[in-house]
Structures are given as C-alpha cells and as structure tokens.
Amino acid sequence: MTSLFTEISPEPEHGVATRRVTITVNGERKAAEIEPRLLLAHLLRQGLGLTGTHTGCDTTNCGACTVLFDGVPLKSCTMLAVQADGHEVTTIEGLATASELSPVQEGFKQEHGLQCGFCTPGMMMTATALLAENPDPTEDEVRWALSGNLCRCTGYQNIVKAVLWAAAKQRGEAVETDDGSVP
C-alpha cells in the first residue's frame, strides 16, 4: 500500500516522519503511510486515484472537494488525511453501484443540473447527505443545504430541480424520466 503514496510523500529522501492511517473509503479499508501534512483530498485523488473529488479553491469555500465523512458532508481540501484515521469516507465514486446510479445522480442528468461537471461531485455529495436527513425538502431547504457549494455554470435552478427530482424518486413517487433521446 505504501508505494501508492510515494508520489505524495517520498519519505525516505525527506526524512519526514510518516504516520500510518487506516481509512474506510467507499466501504473498503485502505491503509497508508503518509506525511502528516497530506490533505485528505490529495490522499483520495493522488493516493487512491479517486479523481472524482475535485479541488477548486483550497479554502473550503467552493465545495468541489466535498465528501461524506462518517455520513456528513465535509470539504476534504482543508482536512488533513491523518484526521480521517479510523473514519469512513464516501466519495462520488461510492454513490453508484456498477449497474445503478443513485437517485441524485439520475436527477442531475434528468434535470440538466450540470454543465462543466467540475462542481458536480461535491454538489451531489451534499445533496445525498441532505436527502438522507430530510427526504422531502422544500426548495428553500435545498438551496440552503447547497449554499456551501459553488457552481459557475448552471445558476443553481436546475441543480435545485435535480435534488427535488431525486427526493421524489427516493420517496418512491413517480418522476418524469422521458429523456427525449432514442427510446
């Protein structure tokens, strides 16, 4: 496992003390020797190759790096990876199964809730956490929940619709799925 992280922390050359961490990522236990200063976002991206978690602003503002940390949305660009030792992290790669998208993922496609796609993983992680806590949110509740995630493309209106679509689907209600493309 250590070799995975040589790119980030070639500790032999440095002489920097490393720490061993064990983190459950998308249901799988991962162990690594890492520099204490390594950020969680970088461990996920470079160390584990989970590049769906994006880094946008480096200051916990844009939310592109949002993951679920023990089920709670957390911006991984300002958390040290060592702080995640012993915890559970879910990334965008953990939302879908091999064959099935989560309702939030479906909703974003259905309602055109993304354009460039860069903020999308973080948005969907936050939305997933919201719907786990509040299966029937109002538009205002969705807007408030997403207010830690920035999007420069969509103007949010379709993101809000996407989350409400996902909520309805998750509650088992009928949702519009006609996608206008080839049946």
Partner 1 sequence: MTAVDEIKIGGMGANRRRVEDDRFIRGRGNYVDDIVLPGMLHMEILRSPLAHARITSIDASKAWEIPGVRLVLTGEMMASRNLAWMPTLSYDTQAVLATDKVRFQGQEVAAVVADDPYIAKDACEAIVVEYEPLPPIVNPTQALAEGAPVIRDDKENQHDNVTFDWEVGDRDGTDRAFAEADVVSKISMHYPRSHPSPIECCGSIADFDRSTSKLTVYMTSQAPHIIRAAVALVAELPEHMIRIVSPDLGGGFGNKVPVYPGYVISILASILLEQPVKWIEDKTGNLISTGFGRDVYLEGELALRQDGRILGVRMHTVSDHGAFFSDAQPSKFKIGLMHSAFACYDIPAAHLTARGVYTNKAPGGVAYRCSFRVTEAMYFQERMVQAAADDLGMDQAEFRRVNLVRDDDFPHRTPFGFLTDSGQYGKCLDIGLAAIDYEGFLKAKEEAKAKGRLLGIGISTMTEPLGAGNSREYDILGIKMFDSAELRVHMTGKAILRTGAKTQGQGHETTWAQIVAHELGIPAEDITVEEGDTDTAPFGMGTYASRSTPVAGAAVAMVSRKIKAKARKLAAHLLEVSEEDVEWELGRFYVRSAPDQGVTIQECAMAAYSNMPDGMEPGLENNAYYDPPNLTWPFACYIVTVEVDPGTGVWDVLDVVAVDDCGVRINPMIVEGQIMGGLTEAYAMASMQFITFDAEGNCIGSNYMDYLLPTAWETPGFQLHEVVTPCPHHPIGAKGIGECATVGGPAAFVNAVMDALKGTGVRNIDMPLLPDRVYGAIQTGQDVSGAPPVKTGS
Give Cβ neighbours of residue 152 (< 8 Å, ≥ 6 apart).
116, 119
Under a CB-based contact definition with an 8 Å cutoff, are residues 161 and 111 in contact? Answer: yes
Applying CB under 8 A, the residues found at the interface with partner 1 are 7-10, 13-14, 35, 37-38, 45-46, 49-59, 61-62, 64, 91-93, 95-96, 101, 105, 108-110, 112, 114-121, 124, 142-144, 146-160, 179-183
Q: How far is the CB of 136 from partner 1 (least distance, A)?
A: 18
- Residue closer to partner 1 (CB basis): 56 or 73: 56
- Residue closer to partner 1 (CB basis): 85 or 118: 118
Structural tokens at position 37: 């200063």
Q: How far is the CB of 72 from partner 1 (least distance, A)?
A: 19
Q: Which of 66, 76, 84 has the alpha carbon at shortest distance from 145?
A: 66
Q: How far is the CB of 171 from partner 1 (least distance, A)?
A: 20
Q: How far is the CB of 143 from partner 1 (least distance, A)?
A: 4
Query: Amino acid identity, residue 14?
Result: H
CB-count exposure of residue 3 (10 Å: 0-12, 13-18, 19+):
exposed
Q: Which of 131, 50, 60 has the alpha carbon at shortest distance from 89?
A: 50
- Residue closer to partner 1 (CB basis): 22 or 144: 144
- Residue closer to partner 1 (CB basis): 1 or 86: 1
The total number of residues shown for the chain amounts to: 183
Q: How far is the CB of 152 from partner 1 (least distance, A)?
A: 5
If DSSP codes are grouped into helix, strand and coil, which group holds residue 130? Answer: helix
Phi, psi values for residue 29, rounded to 5°? -75, 130
- Residue closer to partner 1 (CB basis): 49 or 71: 49
